[in-house]
Structure 1
């Protein structure tokens, strides 16, 4: 593909991303992969260039653009060499009309920027930086594996960091299960659980099990680790991941949304620790999913907050006296963080706050907040409570 054809291809991809964002459809990475799957003639250099152009445009637009062309024009406004590729040649985008509007610049839609400001989020522009590649050494396989070149130690106990473009999945350490890809902030939230060998630990919203695997390693495969989720497809991805990681103490439990206690009854009052990595807006993950800020609505945010409160109440019934409940969201908004922690304590006087001490992050209410701007991690809120 010529450089100009790559720009037009990125515009075509952006049209699909914008349409999906309006309909709350497939994420950008999946759409881009499917687009190229239907165009196998495109080389690896073409794929990389088109993907980078598309994500560059997504990050540049605060509000959802009208079209993919408008999004790319936002980038071309400050990039003369890119603007010159709008030359109307074969497979190239049409020349730019000086009166043609570009998409609006910014970090996020206006209502969401207001919420970030109210939550005192500093450096919101850092939410759109490219994220590094973080990995966790899997101590079930090796305490100090032969890591691929380029690693720098992170603040997480078993964490290392690579540049964003590192293709770690092709390394021997990854293929053998000696390392797992996991953001440093996510690793730190798992450390807050303080899971120990021999305990009963429940991961209430396990998804595909990224945090579950970290907990299994902390427990050294000794004890009972229950991974729960209401999404069957995501939960089914955990067993093969656990086998690769050498995690043998994991039991999966499929939940029925809004009827979780039907499956959780055997664990009432039995857990030493429960992790609630609750569904949330994902404002802390925009570095990886920048188009997610176009999808979120205030109504959806309210719905997430209600789900979080309910799941915290469910989790509280599972913890034995003296046990721990850890609440985590990958969000920087107080409604999904500090407000939730305060609300939980108000509803449950038989619990106390036990704010964790981390090597990164800042105190926020009864918990800690990690952010790309301050800590170089994804955005997280984490709070820990102890049952009296």
Structure 2
């Protein structure tokens, strides 16, 4: 495929997304119908689509419209690409750019590629870092690996990956973190992955685990385990008795395979109360995902004030349930991949106001300015 064909394909996919279809589903459907497209073509179309979703409002302004064509045109203008090379009017490409598709300025929240209603709470949460953080959230997230330090050192993993053409650099946010600088497309086939030496995990997510007071012999529950990335990260830091739970058990389907690959034993449970009490319970709760919108840009356009209210109610309920499973003197870790105070400090304070036997030992925010996703951690301790 030439550039015009890629632009036409991205336009088709984006129009389906704008009509309500998830981006991954739309990309898969396009790829199945485009057998002629090679791996580089598919990657280029995917990049155009996700850049357009990350920069949806500013791309619409630059492209002079609101449909898939305008978003592609806006992204290409933001990149500084020559328009005529992509919009050439050829049989397999988009029609040439019209005079009425002139770029316009994105102002207010549109300049930061966020919904209008989210600008005030994001400014309140991020303070003076708001503009710099929002700029980074318009870009692609870095590819970060977590080295399994129970099996190999960070330097050893970097050397093993380099032997397979994957170049990495140590990431300062976590001692097990490596940032991939070249060869990311080779990761899934890498021997280091197959042998459980490294896994994909954001640096801020790793830093959250590094902040937990894990020691050998502890009984630990990962209450909102999902795919189990944090479960395995905890296992690499200490010899623990580990349980994993998720409200949607299918999310944990790969955890047993990943745990076996990493040399870790984890008990999956639908009723964690039956194994309580635990010395530490980690709750990485469902949230807006605002801190990880670089990876899931559709999330910021789906979020509504009503959905945020639903999420904060869920978060409070999870805190209450998890706290009841912590042993006297034990620990409760509350984490989100959100910037918003409504999901972070406000939830912790609401819990503490109802729970006099708990105290806050640590709160910490992480963000793109440190090279990772946006994360929040509150570490609470039961007074016994």
| Corresponding residue of 1:362 | none
Deviation, 1:232, is: 2.2
Q: Verify the 8 A CA contact 2:73 2:83 in the aligned structure 1.
A: no
Kindly provide the CA deviation profile for residues 223-254 of structure 1, in whole angstroms up to 9, marking residues without a partner as x.
42110001121122211111111112x10012
**Alignment partners' CA distance in 1, 2:176 and 2:76:** 42
* Residue-pair matches, total: 359
- Give the aligned partner of residue 336 of structure 1: 343
Q: Which residue of 1 aligns with 2:72?
A: 72
String of CA shifts for 1:333-352, please: whole Å, max 9, x gaps. 11111111211211111011
Alignment correspondent of 2:268: 252
Structure that is richer in helix per residue: 2
The corresponding residue for 2:188 is: 169
Q: For 1:292-303, list aligned pairs within 5 A.
A: 292-303=299-310
- Contact 2:245/2:272 (8 A) holds in 1: no
Q: Within 2, Cα distance between the matches of 1:317 and 1:83? A: 63
Give a deviation string over 1:98-134, Cα, whole Å, max 9, x none: 2247796532111112221122352212112221111
Q: Which runs of 5+ in 2 are unaligned?
A: 61-65
Aligned counterpart for 1:39 among listed residues 34, 42, 51: 34
Instruction: Find 1:110's aligned residue among 103, 116, 123.
Output: 116
For 2:365, the equivalent position in structure 1 comes to 369
Instruction: Look up the match of 1:291.
Output: 298
Q: Which residue of structure 1 lines up, in the alignment, with residue 90 of structure 2?
A: 89
Aligned equivalent of 2:333: 326
The answer as to whether partners of 1:77 and 1:83 remain within 8 angstroms in 2 is: no
Runs of 4+ in structure 1 over 4 Å off: 101-105
Cα deviations across residues 147-179 of structure 1 (Å, max 9, x unaligned)?
323221123121211127613222211121111
Equivalence map 1:3-152=2 (5 Å): 3-20=3-20, 26=22, 28-62=23-57, 66-78=66-78, 79=80, 81-100=82-101, 105-106=110-111, 107-121=113-127, 122=129, 123=132, 124-143=134-153, 144-145=156-157, 146-149=159-162, 150-152=167-169
User: Among 242, 263, 275, which residue is 2:259 paired with?
Assistant: 242
Instruction: Give the whole-Å Cα distance in 2 for the aligned partners of 1:207 and 1:328.
Output: 13
Looking at structure 2, the residues matched to 245 and 228 of structure 1 have their Cα atoms a distance apart, in angstroms, of 19
Q: What does 1:155-194 align with in structure 2 at a 5 Å threshold?
A: 155=172, 156-163=174-181, 166-167=184-185, 168-194=187-213
SS of the residue corresponding to residue 354 of structure 1 reads strand
Rounded to whole Å, the distance in 2 between the matches of 1:192 and 1:164 is: 29
Matched, 1:213 2:232: yes
Distance 1:272 1:212 in 2: 15
TM-score of the superposed pair, with normalisation by structure 1: 0.87
TM-score of the superposition, structure 2-length normalised?
0.87
Work out whether 1:265 is the aligned partner of 2:273.
Answer: yes
**Corresponding residue for 1:226?**
243
SS of the aligned residue for 1:7 comes to helix
How far apart, CA to CA, are the structure 2 residues paired with 1:244 and 1:171? 13
| Offset from partner CA, 1:47-90 (integer Å, 9 cap, x none) | 12212222222222238964211212322445451355222210
CA distance in 2, matches of 1:151, 1:77: 31
Q: Distance in 2 between matches of 1:370 and 1:344?
A: 22
Separation of aligned partners in 2, 1:183 and 1:277: 14
Contact 1:130 1:164 in 2 (8 A): no
Q: CA deviation at 1:287?
A: 1.5
Structure 2 contact 59–75 (Cα < 8 Å) conserved:
no
Q: Secondary structure at the match of 2:179?
A: strand
Specify which of 215, 223, 241 is matched with residue 204 of structure 1: 223
